[in-house]
Structure 1
Amino acid sequence: MFNENLSITKTKSNRLKQARRGIKRKLKIRLKKWHNYPEPRFATQGSFTTGTMIRNERDWCDLDMGIYFFQDLDLTYGSIQKHIKEALFDHTNGEVKLLSKCIRVVYSNDFHIDMPIYLVKEQGVFLLGSKSNNWTRCDSKKFKDWVKKEAADNDQLIRIIRYFKAWADRYRTSKSIKMPSGLVFTIWTVQHYESNIRDDISFIKTATHILKELKSSWICEMPVETKDNVLEKLNDDQQDNFKEALKELIKKGYEALTQDDKAKSLKIWKSMLGRRFTDII
């Protein structure tokens, strides 16, 4: 089954866990020893916690792990990032990148781990750090809880999210076109999901609803704090390219659904979803 083929292998899962443990251990020891930091806490977040993680066609995946400090640090966001990078200098054969809202630790030809930084204030206020030393209220657990609530007892909804992410990965790779993030596809799928006894019909019906929404509004608002538009990174040309890609998906999807010959139908699906595709009926 296609859904099963999208899952990371047990071996890769074990490597992810080992890498995560190593990061925690080094940061706890080195940040305290080198810069007198309070001991940070860590929480896995993102697609791993909602069951929507996939490995792409290159057998690559990513993991999100928040770093939390429960007392004020008299440091800028940039300084904290720099200290964390220094603490992980010998952790991997890949590189450690400083991105706008996280630190990315790359494990060559395998996976990467993104680590956003949070300051936790009294009354459970979580502040997410970003470049220019901005700290914005954001609690990743609220999004995880939102997805889990919306997808409660609905395995098909989770599968449809994974199909969209796999299609986007395939299209991005084959066409060299920027696509919306997995976060965006998760929100869209939850909001526009149409159930069906068959996954292939549900997938295309949901895609049709998403396209209808995009014709009137190019906004995908986070359903929880901070309520920002997570589509802002795509410019006008990239938006147009994505709409055309979605139209193509819907057109070919309906073509596959109306084939009398199952082999021809599967060939169409495989052209859109990639080599791991077998069957989603």
Structure 2
Amino acid sequence: MTESIFFRKPDVTATTLQGWVWEAVYGYTDTTPEHRKKCVRSIFAGDYEIDHPVYYKIDGENYRIAIKNVGFEDSDPKEMVEWFQRKKDKEGKLIRQVMYLKGWGDDCNQKMPSGLAMTILATNAKEKIVLNERDDITLRDILKEIKKELDREFKCVVPAVPNDNLFADYDETRKNNFLTSLNRIIEDADKALREENQLAASKLWRKHLGDRFPEGKDEKQQNNSRHSAAIIAGASTSNPWACD
């Protein structure tokens, strides 16, 4: 993520300010940049992307982010990053889990929670489980903890200014679609962990995580492996705080 920060109060609309950033990055890649709700997105080859949220900051006030067709809202990107830095583990297990969840969201044929939401959901879940040496077991446990919390209350609150609920504008259809997808990946995760054959297990994961996750070998799984047949190199490495 590369922020564009203006250190004076804009005399144009938030959408116009985003438009100027869009014009600045247009032509830098072969793919036309996207003018999204909270950022401008540059898209590179191989599914790589860079988000450019647009802020302004004046002395004595919070950072304010430009939101397309809405205006400016308080938002503190530094506070969010510092929160995540405090929560992550030295071994990088949480970072990998965020990557897996974002890869899942990217591969779904429906509108899924943003990278920011996936980061918050995974981090909150990680606080309540024991991180396993195997990433596939940890991912299954995190998914189950996310489901448990969302069944209790369907919300995802940003732990930084403006502390908004990222699920506040979800209608029943979008909410139910996400919960259905969550139930399905949990069901197949349980099956994959019971499956003795690497290839069969990897195919269960690939149903949800996509073909960036390679197939396993047609042989028995190694129970002491850190990664399952599918939870290995190939996960999305794009920014976990991707904007809407």
TM above 0.5, yes or no, is yes
Using the TM superposition, give the Cα deviation of residue 230 of structure 1 relative to its aligned residue in structure 2, in angstroms.
1.3
User: Aligned residue for 1:178?
Assistant: 111
1:247 aligns with 2:183: yes
The structure showing larger relative contact order (alpha-carbon pairs under 8 Å, at least 6 residues apart) is 2
User: Aligned residue for 2:236?
Assistant: none
User: Aligned residue for 1:211?
Assistant: 147
Change (3 A) 1:70 1:249: same
Between Structure 1 and Structure 2, the one with more helix by share is 1
Measure, in 2, the Cα distance between the counterparts of 1:139 and 1:233: 21
Unpaired runs of 5+ in structure 2? 217-226, 229-244
What is the aligned-residue RMSD (CA, Å)? 2.5
Change (3 A) 1:259 1:120: same
Using the TM superposition, give the Cα deviation of residue 86 of structure 1 relative to its aligned residue in structure 2, in angstroms.
4.1
User: Aligned residue for 1:42?
Assistant: none
Measure, in 1, the Cα distance between the counterparts of 2:121 and 2:144: 11
User: Aligned residue for 1:237?
Assistant: 173
1:150 aligns with 2:87: yes
Measure, in 2, the Cα distance between the counterparts of 1:227 and 1:255: 37
The correspondence of residues 46-125 of structure 1 with structure 2, limited to 5 A, is 64-107=1-44, 111-123=48-60, 125=62
Using the TM superposition, give the Cα deviation of residue 88 of structure 1 relative to its aligned residue in structure 2, in angstroms.
4.5
Measure, in 2, the Cα distance between the counterparts of 1:162 and 1:203: 11
Measure, in 2, the Cα distance between the counterparts of 1:255 and 1:142: 39
Change (3 A) 1:269 1:95: closer
Measure, in 2, the Cα distance between the counterparts of 1:178 and 1:228: 19
Would you say the 8 A contact 2:15–2:71 is kept in 1? no
User: Alpha-carbon deviations, 1:77-124, whole Å to 9, x = none?
Assistant: 233234344445554443244333223344577544332211111146
SS at match of 2:2: strand
Moved more, 208-217 or 100-109: 100-109
The structure with the largest alpha-carbon Rg is 1
1:138 aligns with 2:71: no
Find the partner of 1:264 among 176, 197, 200.
Answer: 200
The correspondence of residues 155-174 of structure 1 with structure 2, limited to 5 A, is 155-170=92-107, 172=108
Change (3 A) 1:202 1:137: same
Measure, in 1, the Cα distance between the counterparts of 2:47 and 2:189: 31
Using the TM superposition, give the Cα deviation of residue 243 of structure 1 relative to its aligned residue in structure 2, in angstroms.
1.1
Would you say the 8 A contact 1:65–1:113 is kept in 2? yes
1:221 aligns with 2:157: yes
Find the partner of 2:121 among 168, 188, 196.
Answer: 188
**One-letter identity of the residue aligned with 2:135:** D
User: Alpha-carbon deviations, 1:176-197, whole Å to 9, x = none?
Assistant: 2221122111111110122112
User: Aligned residue for 1:127?
Assistant: 64
Change (3 A) 1:120 1:274: same
Count of equivalent residues: 214
**One-letter identity of the residue aligned with 1:196:** N
Would you say the 8 A contact 1:180–1:234 is kept in 2? no
Would you say the 8 A contact 1:269–1:277 is kept in 2? no
Measure, in 1, the Cα distance between the counterparts of 2:132 and 2:45: 40
Measure, in 2, the Cα distance between the counterparts of 1:272 and 1:190: 20
Change (3 A) 1:110 1:155: closer
Using the TM superposition, give the Cα deviation of residue 204 of structure 1 relative to its aligned residue in structure 2, in angstroms.
0.7
Change (3 A) 1:70 1:189: same
Unpaired runs of 5+ in structure 1? 1-63
**One-letter identity of the residue aligned with 1:98:** H
**One-letter identity of the residue aligned with 1:252:** D
